[in-house]
Amino acid sequence: MIIYGTRGVTRTREQGAFYCPQCGPDQSYKAKRARRFFTLYFIPLIPLDKLGDYVECQACQGTFNPEILDYDPNQEAAQTQALYVTAMKQVMIATLLADGVVDDDEVTLLQEIMLALGGIDVTIQDLREEIDEFSKRRIDPEKLLSELSGTLNDKGKEQVLKAAYRIAAADGHVDKSELQEIHNFGEAMNMSSAHINGVLTEAKTST
Ligand SMILES: [Zn+2]
């Protein structure tokens, strides 16, 4: 039997020093590109489409858009969020919207999770605006994650799954279908089953 498939592979294209929005000046970075490969017997052979480019800080492991390297730190970097923070926020909103409307308690919960896992203090009003925009576009969380996966490193993907777990656990328990959904989120980000299960076990013990 011939075993074939596809897999995301991330390679470093360049490295140097940059101004990290999270840790400050003179941090070392790696510029990475994630690409989907055709695999034969689990060996990546043929490069297919590009999944994304990102810059990874070697100190905090945050990932950022490649444009971060051109930013004037005094002007713009302070407003730049790590990409996983955006991904976390968007996937939580998409998950909450999938069940219907997002009520005030849920918005407060989003705010708490953003602070606990992303270290970011978002205002209720900003979250409301983003939720409104999302509800017009009807975004499927899994599709969203497969689009974002190319700009996230392992740490970013783990934070996104933990955020999804916290949302699911908000009503006191995480049932089987919710666990399956979170598992699908991990797969949409090209994570292995073992990796996903490891993150879920960790999330379970910390909530
Ligand atoms: Zn950093």
- pLDDT tens, position by position, 1-18: 888 998 889 999 999 999
Q: Nearest Cα to 65, choosing from 86, 46, 49?
A: 86
Residue 21 Cα, ligand 1 centroid: separation in angstroms? 7
- Could you tell me what percent of the chain has a pLDDT over 90? 53
CATH 1.10.3470 fits 83-206, yes or no: no
Residue 103 Cα, ligand 1 centroid: separation in angstroms? 34
Residue 82 Cα, ligand 1 centroid: separation in angstroms? 9
pLDDT range class, residue 74, cuts 50, 70, 90: low
Distance CA 145, CA 163 (A): 13
- pLDDT tens, position by position, 120-153: 888 999 999 999 988 888 788 888 898 888 889 9
Residue 101 Cα, ligand 1 centroid: separation in angstroms? 36
Residue 58 Cα, ligand 1 centroid: separation in angstroms? 7
CB-CB contact of 118 with 159 (8 Å): yes
CB-CB contact of 148 with 83 (8 Å): yes
Residues with Cβ–ion distance below 5 A, ligand 1: 20, 22-23, 57, 59-60
3-state secondary structure at position 80: coil
Distance CA 171, CA 207 (A): 12
> Which residues are within 8 A (CB) of 99 and not within 5 positions of it... i.e. 6 or more apart?
none
Is the pLDDT assigned to residue 72 strictly greater than 70? no
Is the pLDDT assigned to residue 65 strictly greater than 70? yes
Q: Where do the structural domains in the chain lie, given as residue ranges?
A: 4-79, 83-206
Tell me what pLDDT residue 76 has: 54
